[in-house]
Amino acid sequence: MWIKYDFDRAKWTGPWFMASTNGKCVRRSNSLLAYAFGPELRYAEVMEHKNFFVALFTTLFLFAFGILLYFAPTRNVVRRFLPQPGQGPSKELLASGFMKLTVIGKSESDPTNKITAVVQAPKEPGYAFTAVMLAESALCLALQREECNKLYRQRKGDDEPEVLGGILTPASAMGNVLLDRLTRAGMKFNVVV
């Protein structure tokens, strides 16, 4: 919820507005996969900043923006300055955008045991690559459903002929099948030990 120095990355970090939503998805995936990452999994997401002052300014801005959106009178004023439905980033911004996530996994029993993964996408993630991920997920379920069902049962440790259904996450429903499709679509997943 506040800025801090991350010694693993040697960077200042601050809150990321998608952390709450993404964290719930990660924890739900873990539970659906029979706690493949352990029942005590803790997950946090932050945004890196160039220095302390940028981290402080960005964090204060996000909090102030959140407060303005919380109250109806100020929310109505702020809406006038935000993109309207149907509007979005320019083609130039979409073309120049990219995504790079660094994921650091640590063992609680041995904090020196760390694994780092870097996830990259060649397009702007909010609009351009989200569309690619949605399309690949739909194709995965439409064209490779049996493969996904088999993988899901194996990871749950079930031999029952259960089919995909209910409220699943992409990781629990499609796993490596989707990972392969996203890799072919231009995403990169690199694990650095």
pLDDT in tens, 151-186: 766 666 665 555 556 788 898 889 889 999 999 999
Threshold 0.75, pTM exceeds: yes
Mean predicted confidence (pLDDT) in 106-132:
86
d(CA 29, CA 21): 13
- Number of helices and strands (H, E) in the chain? 8, 6
Contact, 59 vs 15, CB < 8 A?
yes
Contact, 102 vs 9, CB < 8 A?
yes
Mean predicted confidence (pLDDT) in 117-141:
90
Q: Which of 114-118, 122-126, 180-184, 186-190 has the lowest mean pLDDT?
A: 122-126
* Bridging pattern class, strands 46-49 and 99-106: unpaired
Domain boundaries, the chain: 1-82, 88-193
State residue 129's pLDDT score: 87
Which residues lie below 8 Å from residue 46, measured CB to CB, with a gap of 6+? Answer: 6, 13, 14, 15, 16, 19
Mean predicted confidence (pLDDT) in 47-64:
95
Classify residue 142 by burial, with Cβ atoms within 10 Å: 0-12, 13-18, 19+.
Answer: exposed
**What are residue 115's phi and psi, to 5 degrees?**
-125, 135
53 vs 110 pLDDT, higher one: 53
State residue 82's pLDDT score: 86
State residue 164's pLDDT score: 55
Check whether 91 has a pLDDT greater than 70. Answer: yes
pLDDT bin (cut points 50, 70, 90) of residue 15 is very high
Contact, 70 vs 43, CB < 8 A?
no
Nearest residue to 140 via CA among 186, 184, 190: 184
Which amino acid makes up residue 130? Answer: T
State residue 68's pLDDT score: 94
State residue 72's pLDDT score: 93
Which amino acid makes up residue 8? Answer: D
Check whether 25 has a pLDDT greater than 80. Answer: yes
State residue 155's pLDDT score: 65
Contact, 98 vs 187, CB < 8 A?
no
